[in-house]
Structure 1
């Protein structure tokens, strides 16, 4: 008996732990249909709740260790990130242990209990968005990412898919226990619902897409490690001059000089220095432009006045470089830069440039990373000082849009994984999501892939396309159905960091979704309702 239980636990562990696209996409549908059910079938024989709790805690905690293994990339984070990795995995394991207490000992599962368990897991996943800066990784619904079932997110978002994963697994568990053809057919039918919806969803919207909404973009991936991008203590020799970093960007853009992109996007914190720091000699900047592009008219350079430069010193800012590129290509530009204000506040920002215009607009990142971008507790200051961190960002306050050829809704890095944050930009009138990211802090890990998986959900939930430019990561163009049109991966076939510029045209086809109407609150309300009914009537009806 023990050997059988261990084998079931091991098989279910392998299916669920590796059943996400960044590991083994083929296991995703299996995990979504029966991965959890196999485990619950094994532990339901234990009569005491604490027995089921600790076994489930260990099982899911180890799954989290696998799925969050990108946190073991300690080169730039230091050893403290291993403590975070272990703590998060234990926390997630305890949540799943709490859930598994509701699996009844050696008796059948009734539908109200099934709905309540799926509802509780959904509420637990939703609650993570509000822990410190918010935690949004390894949701159960991610298992559907590389299948047509991802389209189901248009109704209740990724949390709705998480609900469905647990619900179907519990129906599967019930069919294993009750047996009978009818029970198995019900389980298989429910398991196929998201896929059938997805096929119909794609078919319907493909019929309504027109070719008159084409939009072109040029996305730059710089391919620099953090130590190459900014001076880091102990790695100073790796730092690349900001002049050379800009030169590399211009060389990538030069490869597509014969094209006319509507929008050029550079990644988060694309180059060192705050946006308005007069760090560059104008003559050197001018010479670099001439070396790469040949004879170009001087009118492409903006007037050397604040915030572009200082005429008294003949020095210019990062904004000067960006506006010059916008003027040269006659294209809008969005790029990420740090921004400091006189009052002392500093921001992780995105800037929008329009050719030959001084109408410069800015978006400030709202979801900041603990320790790296903000300090959650003062007692952590000695720890971060060991890594040379002494200044922190101020969070932005609103989902402002960039107005040009089409209204652009920007997000920076981790924000992209928060459904309701991204949805705000769409509600404000955004027609295209633009994300700027730097996944290089966890180089040679699965973080870039997992990050990109979340991006595809945001496009489907809101019914508009998404583009992303990464320093290192997955630079990509995604249509409003979550399908990748083109991409640059983090590494090439030889595991070398890739850099370059991706030119792509996309269809700006958009559509309204139920998720756009109710956001996460739709599935949260239903989950609260199911769980509340269960708590109120479980004794009365012996659920």
Structure 2
């Protein structure tokens, strides 16, 4: 290991760039659908050794070392995001004649942008770099801060944070209930970097012991929490709802055509009307995916009447739909990506609009400027969608409520407000059909599961092509429909949350963990300077 570490440290030029890129790409195998979390030990071990050799040009001073470390992290991040997000290009191929030109921007441009955050992480870590355990803490601090910034800068895109690689199964997901994804990411980087100490020896015993203790605590806490799960959920046994999720598997190109709308609508209704499976209990709630209804419902009373014909007395349909709103005289109407609750009489009894829109997918940032350059969004609505000013809870007849998350809103933990405590479940409707049979739908599903754990609530997830599922508050799959499998799924969902740490507590623990890594790194750096001067 010492010989290998030495060779990695001494790499220069193109070989150094290639190893950094491959180290990041290998780490992406820890993400769904693969879940090989051990690959991150390889990734971060290589990154530490590369950082050890990150000296910059002779005589260049601090700035040269900072710049060298930044580009090292950037190439690492570029490899990680290209390998983990290449599937985004599939969305542009749905209408290839119009958007194929933008394929390089999705497959390479977005990863190049996201890699800047990892470049900042390694550059920051380089300021506190030492020769022992402290440098692992410095890297953990840098990545923790960078991932936090990535969650909100330029509207945020925290997809595939490093912490998700440490949570491939419910046993290893429970730490998110205490630390959230941000806190798990900080500690994960420290643990995944620990094998680098074997190659350099300095601080090896202390570092490996600490990393082993953290990993065992991570797994042990998961085992303990899952052991208590069934008794904790027993309180919800008398307050459960029978839910049917419809997964229609409508091809995205077909959804974009105007000629097939009635047939698509009837396919949803036919699946909804199927007899119940299992114990034969009629579903109380039927859930359709994002933008399932191919009409503006408020302009199509016949569609509402048709829904009323299919629903039995007391049943409720919860569905994604496009909502229009008059913007005033002489102005084009505004359109919202919404969720409706429709009762058995065909009345819309509750609605919630999407708050966090997808840039260049649902709206165009700096629209006037970019449209002059020929860059338009990929949504068929005139002018794209409008973001709601705030999130409204979905209230069902009888007083129960769902916390609505449309599509990729489920990847933003900090956007779930305190009013989530007044709901009985998270509801995520999405259309991952844009991405085809790629890792994208599996990655999206994992991140939604973590939101259930963080908030101590079950998750109801309806996706056009999958993965649709009911997940309990511990992230365990109760029942689901695999990707690209057309059909319905009947299950029950508890209406009471399990004991959990609230959002403020998770934030505080994240900052506490981050501060601890900073202190370890800073103290180690001071000691390193003292020894070398």
TM-score where L is the length of structure 1: 0.81
Displacement of 1:11 in angstroms is 7.3
What is the aligned counterpart of 1:513 among 491, 497, 500? 500
Q: Which whole-Å CA distance do the structure 1 matches of 2:84 and 2:128 have between them?
A: 29
Residues 324-473 of structure 1 mapped to structure 2, 5 A cutoff: 324-326=309-311, 328=312, 330-343=314-327, 344-356=333-345, 358=347, 360-377=349-366, 378-381=368-371, 382-384=374-376, 390-404=382-396, 405=398, 406-427=400-421, 429-473=422-466
- Does the Cα contact within 8 Å between 1:117 and 1:531 map onto a contact in 2? no
Displacement of 1:452 in angstroms is 0.3
Structure 1 residues not aligned, in runs of 5+ = 232-238, 279-308, 310-315, 492-497
- Quick check: 1:163 aligned with 2:157? no
Q: Which whole-Å CA distance do the structure 2 matches of 1:350 and 1:479 have between them?
A: 22
What is the aligned counterpart of 2:283 among 253, 261, 276? 261
Aligned to 1:214: 240
Residue-by-residue CA offset, 1:421-473 (whole Å, 9 max, x unaligned): 2344413x111111110112222322111110111100000001001111123
Q: Which whole-Å CA distance do the structure 1 matches of 2:39 and 2:502 have between them?
A: 24
Aligned to 2:330: none
Q: Which whole-Å CA distance do the structure 1 matches of 2:224 and 2:478 have between them?
A: 20
Q: Which whole-Å CA distance do the structure 2 matches of 1:89 and 1:414 have between them?
A: 17
Residue-by-residue CA offset, 1:81-136 (whole Å, 9 max, x unaligned): 4213322212232322332243589951354x544432331221121222333212
Q: Which whole-Å CA distance do the structure 2 matches of 1:119 and 1:386 have between them?
A: 37
3-state DSSP of counterpart to 2:118? helix
3-state DSSP of counterpart to 2:475? coil
Q: Which whole-Å CA distance do the structure 2 matches of 1:347 and 1:183 have between them?
A: 51
Q: Which whole-Å CA distance do the structure 2 matches of 1:172 and 1:423 have between them?
A: 39
Aligned to 2:76: 59
Displacement of 1:358 in angstroms is 4.3
Aligned to 1:78: 100
- Quick check: 1:503 aligned with 2:529? no
3-state DSSP of counterpart to 2:241? strand
TM-score where L is the length of structure 2: 0.82
- Does the Cα contact within 8 Å between 1:149 and 1:198 map onto a contact in 2? yes
Residues 52 and 402 of structure 1, relative CA distance in 2, 3 Å threshold: closer
Q: Which moved more, 1:195-204 or 1:388-397?
A: 388-397
Displacement of 1:365 in angstroms is 0.3
Q: Which moved more, 1:167-176 or 1:436-445?
A: 167-176
Q: Which whole-Å CA distance do the structure 2 matches of 1:397 and 1:83 have between them?
A: 29
Residues 325 and 402 of structure 1, relative CA distance in 2, 3 Å threshold: farther
Displacement of 1:400 in angstroms is 1.9
Displacement of 1:254 in angstroms is 2.7
Aligned to 1:299: none
Residues 242-253 of structure 1 mapped to structure 2, 5 A cutoff: 242-253=261-272
- Does the Cα contact within 8 Å between 1:263 and 1:332 map onto a contact in 2? yes
Q: Which moved more, 1:117-126 or 1:158-167?
A: 117-126
Residues 51 and 168 of structure 1, relative CA distance in 2, 3 Å threshold: same
How many residue pairs match? The answer is 487
Residue-by-residue CA offset, 1:203-257 (whole Å, 9 max, x unaligned): 12223321334322100112112221132xxxxxxx6522211221122123225
Structure 2 residues not aligned, in runs of 5+ = 9-14, 57-64, 328-332
What is the aligned counterpart of 1:21 among 13, 32, 35? 32
- Does the Cα contact within 8 Å between 2:129 and 2:521 map onto a contact in 1? no
